[in-house]
Structure 1
Amino acid sequence: MGGLIGGMLFRSLGFAGDGTSGGGIGLMDIVLIGAILYFIYRFMRKRREQEAPVGAYAQSGSAGTATPGYTPPMGGPAAENSDVERGISHVRQMDAGFDEKDFTDACMDVFFRVQGAWANRDMTTVRDVLTDEMHGILSEDARKLKAERKINRLDNIAVRSVDITEAWQESGQDYITVKFYANLLDYTIDESTGEVLSGSRTEPVKFEEYWTFTRPVGRNAWKLSAIQQPQ
């Protein structure tokens, strides 16, 4: 992609061929370059929401899902807070009653519901808070656990903090990412014998997870669209 843009610029500036046909950048070149750059921006932004989910369910190795890690926003705490505040202000333009505390409390409820559904290998109970893609992926992973006669236990979950790290709007959708810092007992057992296959019944593990929620702009219900871990 970069080579295409570079080649266009060089040809437009007369650096191609024998140098006798040089000229300024044409209007169509400018329009095409702008379109390509915008496409690249949209593609990179959209990748955040298209990562397959990972989470406490994958830490024990039972789910078998592998994805690139989450990269927190760059620029330090001050820049990050400024970006979050700007994003939330955009959300409030179509939902004046949006409250950050109420939102993170609701995220906490979803967190426990999803973990419980995963441990039961039945994602139908949380269908209402998952996007179609997320529901499909988690349901398939739960199906694999059942087929292998394994149960991934998630016990003594203790969430230490829930913080908004990103907020933005795109293509008529609100997006907000929250960071969960928590610990729990995460282990997988054989369904028949109860033998621990991985993890520990007694040694808690700590983790950071980034959960992204989305909804159509306005006062609509939020749904979980991505779960990622930091790099």
Structure 2
Amino acid sequence: MKRFPFVLLLIFVFIYSISTSHAAPSSNSATFSIFDILFIGAIIFFIVRALRGRTSRNNNPKDDWTLGGKDQDSYSPTASNEPRTTPGADKITSLYPEQTTHKGLRPIEMSDPNFTEGDFLAAAREVFSTVQQAKANEELEQIEFLMDKAMLNQLQEDIATWRKEGKRVQLDSATIHSALVADAIQQMGTDCITVKFEATLDRTFLPVDVEGEPEPVHETVTEYWRFMRNIGEAAWQLIGVYDADEYEE
């Protein structure tokens, strides 16, 4: 279709050449025949059309167009799909926070702008180590503010069991290998988060009587520690500790 004007021009030239070859000898006069006028008009028409087409093409945007300012990489729809680094991309702050590990944390984050999963897990690690040490030292009264009454009673029962067996415990080390949010829920005016701990406890069970022998115990544990608070309050309390079998039930 783009070559149609050129073909039409050739037809005009052909007709003109035939007409001039059959014209009378008087055609050398100063007057123009009808074919002369048509031929000249056709040439002018095609020249104007060609110039307008070229101007229109120059004004149209390129197929390989760019987007962005002078300091930005260009965007090309025909370019390769390989990833490209934009200058200053490392300084961009996302409008939305990064996705948290557990979706149940989202309502807690929305109601408490100061809450972050990282800070919570760091505090949970501290509680884990502190409780293990206080339990071994039989000093639970110093940390009872960290837990509710039921949790305190459970730990006291563990100490009482050791005593009945004629043992006391020395905590040599408590190494936390991982601490992850296993469950999180906000309901009935409370926030509740369960943390899965994988840790190694090195303890020495010492006999209450001097005659017994120390019994070193190296134990790898997987436990689920549950924390709860009232919505709007900052302080969390430990309300339960479960091993893997108890938690799965």
For normalisation by structure 1, the TM-score amounts to 0.57
Q: Secondary structure at the match of 1:96?
A: coil
- Counterpart-to-counterpart distance in 1, 2:200 and 2:229: 28
1:87–1:166 CA contact under 8 A, matched in 2: yes
Structure 1 residue 148: Cα displacement: 5.2
- Counterpart-to-counterpart distance in 2, 1:223 and 1:196: 37
Picking from 213, 222, 225, the partner of 2:236 is 222
The AA in structure 1 aligned to 2:134 is: A
Structure 1 residue 125: Cα displacement: 1.3
The AA in structure 2 aligned to 1:136 is: N
1:94–1:219 CA contact under 8 A, matched in 2: no
1:133–1:225 CA contact under 8 A, matched in 2: yes
Aligned to 2:182: 165
The AA in structure 1 aligned to 2:150 is: E
| Unmatched 5+ stretches in structure 2 | 1-98
Give the share of equivalent positions with the same residue, in percent: 29
2:100–2:106 CA contact under 8 A, matched in 1: no
- Counterpart-to-counterpart distance in 2, 1:91 and 1:194: 54
Picking from 113, 121, 130, the partner of 1:104 is 121
- Counterpart-to-counterpart distance in 1, 2:175 and 2:236: 23
RMSD: 2.3
Picking from 212, 215, 227, the partner of 1:195 is 212
Structure 1 residue 192: Cα displacement: 2.3
| Cα deviation 1:9-52 (Å, max 9, x = unaligned) | xxxxxxxxxxxxxxxxxxxxxxxxxxxxxxxxxxxxxxxxxxxx
The AA in structure 2 aligned to 1:226 is: G
Instruction: Check if 1:209 corresponds to 2:226.
Output: no
Higher relative contact order (CA 8 A, sep 6+): 1
Picking from 165, 171, 177, the partner of 2:194 is 177
Aligned to 1:136: 153
Question: Which segment drifts farther, 151-160 or 127-136?
Answer: 151-160
Q: Secondary structure at the match of 1:86?
A: coil
1:121–1:143 CA contact under 8 A, matched in 2: no
- Counterpart-to-counterpart distance in 2, 1:147 and 1:154: 19
Structure 1 residue 83: Cα displacement: 9.9
- Counterpart-to-counterpart distance in 1, 2:105 and 2:173: 33
1:149–1:192 CA contact under 8 A, matched in 2: yes
Closer/same/farther in 2, CA of residues 99 and 190 from structure 1, 3 Å limit: same
Matches within 5 A, 1:60-71: none
- Counterpart-to-counterpart distance in 2, 1:88 and 1:110: 20
- Counterpart-to-counterpart distance in 2, 1:107 and 1:214: 12
Structure 1 residue 86: Cα displacement: 2.7
1:122–1:142 CA contact under 8 A, matched in 2: no
Aligned residues: 147
Structure 1 residue 150: Cα displacement: 2.0
The AA in structure 1 aligned to 2:119 is: D
- Counterpart-to-counterpart distance in 2, 1:170 and 1:83: 19
The AA in structure 1 aligned to 2:234 is: N
2:171–2:204 CA contact under 8 A, matched in 1: yes
